[in-house]
C-alpha cells in the first residue's frame, strides 16, 4: 500500500496547484496596462481582497459581478458578454478554492463547464481546463469517484486532441483507476492501472521511472483484488457451513426435545 503521507502530499499538491492558478490570475490582472471600466476595477479589487485574506469582501464583490455579467449575457447574448461571465465565474471559483470551500467551488466550476460545452460542444478540447477544474476541487476532498463521468470524458478528449500516447493520457488513466480503487472496485481499478502502464511504456520506454511508479499501482491493486476475493470466498463458505458451535447447539436442542417428549 502507498503510505498515507504520500497520499497527503498528492492532495496538498492539488491544493497548491489551485492556489497557484488563483495567484497567477491576480498577478496577471494587476499587471494589465490601464483599467477600462468599473467592472474591471471592481474585479481587481475583489481579487486583491482575496489575496489579503479578506474573503467576505471578495466573495460579495464577485457575487455582484456574477449577477451583473449574467444579466448582461441574457439581455445581450454574444461572445463578449459570455466571455465576461466566464472570467468572473472562474475568479469566484478560484476564491472559493483558496478558502478551501471546495463544494462551493465545484458548483461554480460546473457552471463554467456547462457554459463552455454549450458554446463548443461536449467533446471540444476547450473543455480540458474546465473539466480539470471540476476534477481537482472534487478529488481534493477525497471524492474522485464522483468525477468518473468527467474523468472519462477528459480521457476521450485528450486522446482525440493530443493522441493516444500523449503525456496526459496515462495520468488520466491513473486517476480513473484510483477513483475505482477507493470505491472498492478493484477489478476495474486494475484494468485502468494496467492500461496506464502499457501507455506509459509507449511514451517513455519499458524501464522508465514513470513505468516503475505506475507499476506499483498495479501490484497494489492485484493484492487488494486478491484479498477481496479471499474474503468473499471465506464469507461464502461461512454462510454455506454453519459453525461447529452452531451445529452442536442444534444437536443439544434436539436431544432435549426428545427427552421432553418421552
> At CA 138, angle to CA 6 and CA 109, rounded to 5?
140
pTM listed for this prediction:
0.74
Q: If you count DSSP H runs as helices and E runs as strands, how many of each does the chain have, helices first? A: 11, 0
Name the grid cell of 249.
447447539
| Tally of CA atoms within 13 A in the half-sphere of 75 that contains its CB | 6
Which residues, other chains included, contact 213 with Cβ-Cβ below 8 Å and sequence gap of 6+? none
**Does 8 have pLDDT greater than 90?**
no
**Does 246 have pLDDT greater than 70?**
no
Calculate mean pLDDT across residues 221-246.
73
Rounded to the nearest integer, the mean pLDDT of the chain is: 82
Calculate mean pLDDT across residues 98-102.
96
Per the model's pLDDT, the better-predicted residue between 113 and 248 turns out to be: 113
**Does 256 have pLDDT greater than 80?**
no
Question: How confident is residue 6, by pLDDT bands cut at 50, 70 and 90?
Answer: very low
Give me the architecture of the 1-143 domain, per CATH.
Alpha Horseshoe (1.25)
Calculate mean pLDDT across residues 177-188.
95
pLDDT digits 0-9 by tens, 14-45: 444 444 444 444 444 443 444 457 889 999 99
Amino acid at each position: 500500500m502507498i503510505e498515507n503521507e504520500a497520499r497527503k502530499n498528492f492532495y496538498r499538491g492539488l491544493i497548491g496547484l489551485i492556489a497557484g492558478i488563483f495567484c497567477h490570475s491576480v498577478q496577471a490582472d494587476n499587471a494589465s496596462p490601464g483599467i477600462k471600466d468599473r467592472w474591471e476595477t471592481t474585479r481587481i479589487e475583489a481579487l486583491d481582497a482575496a489575496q489579503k485574506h479578506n474573503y467576505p469582501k471578495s466573495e460579495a464583490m464577485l457575487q455582484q459581478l456574477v449577477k451583473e455579467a449574467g444579466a448582461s449575457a441574457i439581455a445581450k447574448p454574444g461572445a463578449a458578454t459570455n466571455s465576461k461571465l466566464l472570467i468572473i465565474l472562474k475568479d469566484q471559483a478560484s476564491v472559493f478554492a483558496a478558502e478551501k470551500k471546495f463544494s462551493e467551488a465545484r458548483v461554480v466550476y460546473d457552471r463554467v463547464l456547462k457554459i463552455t460545452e454549450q458554446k463548443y460542444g461536449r467533446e471540444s478540447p476547450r473543455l480540458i481546463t474546465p473539466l480539470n477544474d471540476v476534477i481537482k476541487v472534487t478529488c481534493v476532498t477525497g471524492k474522485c469517484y464522483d468525477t468518473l463521468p468527467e474523468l472519462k470524458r477528459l480521457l476521450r478528449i485528450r486522446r482525440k486532441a493530443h493522441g493516444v500516447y500523449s503525456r496526459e493520457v496515462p495520468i488520466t488513466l491513473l486517476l480513473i483507476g484510483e477513483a475505482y480503487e477507493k470505491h472498492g472496485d478493484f477489478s476495474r481499478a486494475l484494468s485502468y492501472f494496467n492500461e496506464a502502464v502499457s501507455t506509459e511504456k509507449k511514451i517513455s520506454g519499458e524501464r522508465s521511472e514513470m513505468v516503475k511508479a505506475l507499476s506499483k499501482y498495479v501490484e497494489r491493486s492485484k493484492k487488494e483484488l486478491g484479498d477481496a476475493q479471499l474474503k468473499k470466498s471465506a464469507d461464502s463458505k461461512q454462510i454455506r457451513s454453519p459453525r461447529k458451535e452452531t451445529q452442536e447447539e442444534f444437536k443439544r436442542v434436539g436431544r432435549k426435545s426428545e427427552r421432553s417428549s418421552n
